[in-house]
Amino acid sequence: MADKKRILIVDDEPDVLEWFSTLFEDNGYSTFTARDGFEGFEKAEAEHPDLITLDITMDKESGIKMYRKLHDSEKVNKIPVIMITGVDPQFKQYIERRKQVDPPAAYFEKPVDKDELLAKIKELIG
């Protein structure tokens, strides 16, 4: 049996972490979590997940800062990132126009359509 694909969930809301962990694990993935961009980046480099879901607005260190650090790190810059946020939809356009970093693999607004999210994850990592 193949090893389960691993997803790092980065969000500062405990309920969101639990909801995504349950959703992904119920669909055959292994998960681990971080509560801010600083912890998320450290875990990404140490654990090298197959995929990262990343909230934008978090205390301590934002998802934007973490995303940029991921992009700049040769160790983890190939890991697909799905940004998940409650921020204004125009934020997606802002991210996609940034020349310093490539756009994320996907972008979802909260509340997330779980079927669309799972379909995107399956497309990205199987």
Q: pLDDT tens digits for 101-118?
A: 688 899 898 889 999 999
Find, among 45, 46, 54, 100, the residue nearest to 77 by Cα.
45
**Residue for token digits 């379909």?**
119
Residue 84 lies in a domain: yes
What's the confidence (pLDDT) of residue 87? 63
Based on the structure, what is the number of domains in the chain?
A: 1
Q: pLDDT tens digits for 34-69?
A: 999 999 999 999 999 999 999 988 888 888 889 999
Range of the domain at 58: 6-125
What's the confidence (pLDDT) of residue 1? 45
pTM above 0.75, yes or no: yes
pLDDT of 72 strictly over 50: yes
What's the confidence (pLDDT) of residue 58? 85
Task: Look up the CATH number of the domain holding residue 49.
Answer: 3.40.50.2300
Reported as type and span, the H/E element at residue 32 is strand 30-34
